[in-house]
Amino acid sequence: MFDNIKTFFGKNLNFQTKMGGVIGFFLFVLIISFLLSSKFLSQDLLENGVGKKKIIAKKTIEVVDVQKTELLRRDVARKIKPIIIPIDSSRILNGFYALKENILRIKTSDADKQSKYIEFSNIFDITNQEKKEEVVNFAINSSKQNLNAILNSADIVLNKYLKQGLQDGEIETYTNEEAIKEALGYNLTQNQLTAISGILECVILPNLVIDDFATDVARKNAKSLVKPYTVTFKKGDTILKPDEILTQVKRDALRKSGYSLLEINKSGVMGIILFTFLSAFCLVFYIKYKERKYDDPRYYMIIGLLTTLLTVSCVWISSKNDIPNYLMPIPAFTMIMAVFLTPTLAFVATIIFIALISSSLFLEPQFIAVYVFGALASVFFVSRISYTRRFDLVKCGVWTGAVMAVFIVVIGLFENQFSLSSFTFSLKIASNALLNGFFSGILSLGIIPIFENTFKAVTPYGLIELADHNSPILSKLQCKAPGTYHHSLMVANLCEAAAEAIGADPILARVGAFYHDIGKLQKPFFFIENQSYFGVENPHNKLNPRLSKMVIISHTKDGVDIAKKNGLPQEIINFIQQHHGEALAGHFYNQAVQLEGKENVQQEQFRYSGPKPNMKETAILMLADAVESAVRSLKNPTSDEIENMINKIITERLNDGQLSDSPLTLKDIKLIAITFNRILRGMQHDRVKYQEGVMNELQKNNKIVLGQSEQEKLDKKIQKKIEENRENKAAETQAESEKKEDNENKGSN
């Protein structure tokens, strides 16, 4: 862990680059911290919750007195009586009948008095022991008829009570002797009343209960009907006086007037600086260890500039009372980051920024929730757009705004108990989110090309433009090196399919393949794929192997020069530099060994200058370039021959260590080989001899107007014309090349 922290800012960078990065990092932290603190440092209204100066209302302001409104609502809610609902009384009656049956059973049994006393004591569950003794003795000593009459009286009283309803807390009131006497309507002795009271106490339970949920709903509905109590400050009224304690009403009035009430002192400013530092550090740390492809000064500058612009807009919007916070262009930030970087990295950067901005500006939790889901929607929609249609970015913004609007409405509903007025208010706020999404799409559409040209950073939009075959470099490649151009097209197909198979960037792989051999424009006829087109003899037959090696290997350096001259981005230059890595120019090495002897020739002298591929896409290009050339050299290869050649090329590159710096796994390499095999088998399918078939068909239909001898003469004329054109093109190319070499020689002299 400590080793990772030690190398955090890049151990392979030189001292000056590292120092520049560190200075830029701290400068960015200070700028963002200053912007976040500026809102609070510009206003000095309070000290320990007491006003420091007089504040006058510049316009009429209505403020809701939250405390008084809440008191009114509580008072109304307290006046709502609990809602009572009945429950089934059959369980109570069944308990009474079971007790009655047990009492009569014990009474009529042949047991002695002592045994009956024990049994009656067990079945009479009476709290008061004296009362229990009286009831037990009454049951033992009274006659069966008298006891039965008392039980019937208890039955009458119980049914009457249950019919009128009993609530919890009323049991003692209804089981006393006076209440029983009143319920029966006739006189009984004191012992009889006591016995009935004891029997009822054993079985009676409440059959009316409070419905807590219904009561709570009723009270909440009553609360929602209470209108907020508002306090009005007319224009010119004093909102705050010096040395006046700030109340909640005055606090809200000042906020509505656009004042900040936060007392940010030196420690508060230091807290914002530290929070900003940790946020920026976390993002840089994530990039260096999870998204190393974007560990580049260009992308850090893009992130820094976007974050600065967004912070300025968020601070300004939060300071304006008449502009809702849901118009902060955070979706635009997310979409631009997703286009320049990756959706995942864009989401991480947005979450870190939302945490920073919401904490520093003390924004509401609802704000955080809505923008987090908005960021998630942004990266999802951006990952699914077609980069051939730029307007899709505007659609992405609209859909993001729609998602944010839905969450605003949902949060508003459960915060305000689903009332119609709150729903209408939430819809009004949600319209701001829709507007935000729409303008974020337009803003992204305008900013992306500016950042592309300013920072020379490639995006899928830029790659689509580079893939245009009418671009100056590719047009020149078609005319001056058609064989190389055709080879590049074949390699591009292989690269795109393989990149898609392993989860790399297929657009970048395809476009990089288009440009990887542009260095051959300098000396096109020195490369075998162009020699048949120009109809020239292989010039390497007259050159020393070492000189031939220099000409061939130099095409990577020439390609880089052409790319830089034409302003191609570094991502494309990487393909030109790395597509041969440090591989051996084996053909010329073997020739040199035959001429000079193995002891006089070192492999390092015949290797490309590199570097080795360090990205998945450039590693795929290295393999595709070699495989396509090797398979094309085979005559009518079978499927097994193609597969064997692919495996041979890949094994050679692995054994030679050319893939040691690339992030390709063995699983990736296996998928690449399978993809190459599938694509190349499709390219090598058998062709039907269309000419012979067409001639036979025409002869059958009597549509041949030329005789055999005339047809042969015409074929010879066409062939002669083709050869003349080829010779003319070769002569023109040769003359142009010689002229250019003469000019270079003169320049060097």
Q: What is the 8-class DSSP label of residue 86? A: E
Q: Cα 687 from chain centroid?
A: 49
Instruction: Show me where the domains of the chain are located.
Output: 2-43+269-457, 84-210, 462-684, 687-743
List the end-to-end C-alpha distance of the chain, in Å, as a whole number.
Answer: 58
The string over 53-84, giving b where at least 16 C-beta atoms fall within 10 Å of a residue's C-beta and e elsewhere, is: eebebeeebebebeeebeebbeeebeeeeebe
Question: CA-to-CA distance for 733 and 479, rounded, in angstroms?
Answer: 11
- Quickly list H helices, 225-265: 248-256
Q: How confident is the model at residue 338 (pLDDT cuts 50, 70, 90)?
A: very high
Q: Are 69 and 229 in contact (CB under 8 A)?
A: yes
How far is residue 456 from each of residues 246, 298, 449, 573, measured CA to CA in Å?
A: 54, 8, 10, 12
pLDDT over 90 for what percent of the chain?
Answer: 27
Q: In the prediction, which pLDDT does 309 show?
A: 94
In this predicted structure, which of 296-305, 358-367, 429-438 has the lowest mean pLDDT? 358-367
Q: What is the 8-class DSSP label of residue 83? A: P
User: Length of the chain, please?
Assistant: 749
- Name the CA radius of gyration of the chain, rounded: 45
Q: What is the mean pLDDT of residues 64-84?
A: 81
- Does residue 5 carry a pLDDT above 90? no
* Residue 658 structure tokens: 């050319």
* Residue 314 structure tokens: 């968020």
- Does residue 417 carry a pLDDT above 80? no
How far is residue 340 from each of residues 299, 315, 320, 457, measured CA to CA in Å?
A: 8, 25, 31, 8
- Does residue 572 carry a pLDDT above 80? yes
- pLDDT (tens digit, 9 = 90+) per residue, 40-69? 654 556 555 565 567 676 667 777 777 888
Sign of CA dihedral 663, 669, 673, 679: negative
- Does residue 655 carry a pLDDT above 60? yes
Q: Which residue do the tokens 């690449």 mark? A: 672
Q: What is the mean pLDDT of residues 377-398?
A: 89
Question: Between these two residues, 163 and 732, which has the higher pLDDT value?
Answer: 163
Q: In the prediction, which pLDDT does 58 show?
A: 64
Please give the angle made by the CA atoms of 541, 543 and 549, to the nearest 5 degrees.
105
Question: What is the 3 state secondary structure string of 376-429?
Answer: HHHHHHHCCCCCCCCCHHHHHHHHHHHHHHHHHHHHHHHHCCCCHHHHHHHHHH
Question: CA-to-CA distance for 666 and 633, rounded, in angstroms?
Answer: 27
Q: Which residues touch 606 (CB under 8 Å, ≥6 apart)?
A: 549, 584, 585, 586, 588, 589, 592
Question: Between these two residues, 580 and 138, which has the higher pLDDT value?
Answer: 580
Q: How confident is the model at residue 188 (pLDDT cuts 50, 70, 90)?
A: confident
* Residue 746 structure tokens: 């003169």
- Does residue 232 carry a pLDDT above 50? yes
Domain 462-684 carries which CATH code? Answer: 1.10.3210
The string over 487-518, giving b where at least 16 C-beta atoms fall within 10 Å of a residue's C-beta and e elsewhere, is: bbbbbbbbbbbbbbbbebbbbbbbbbbbbbbb
Q: Which residue do the tokens 């890949």 mark? A: 650
Q: In the prediction, which pLDDT does 330 show?
A: 94
- pLDDT (tens digit, 9 = 90+) per residue, 610-653? 799 999 999 999 999 999 988 888 888 888 889 999 999 999 99
- pLDDT (tens digit, 9 = 90+) per residue, 125-153? 877 788 888 878 887 888 888 888 888 88
Question: CA-to-CA distance for 486 and 34, rounded, in angstroms?
Answer: 56
Highest mean pLDDT among 83-97, 296-310, 381-395: 296-310
- Does residue 38 carry a pLDDT above 90? no
- Does residue 9 carry a pLDDT above 60? no
At residue 291, the 3 state secondary structure works out as: coil
Q: What is the 8-class DSSP label of residue 246? A: P
Q: What is the per-residue DSSP string for 520-546?
A: GGSSGGGSHHHHHHHT---GGGGS-HH
In this predicted structure, which of 94-98, 395-399, 406-410 has the lowest mean pLDDT? 94-98
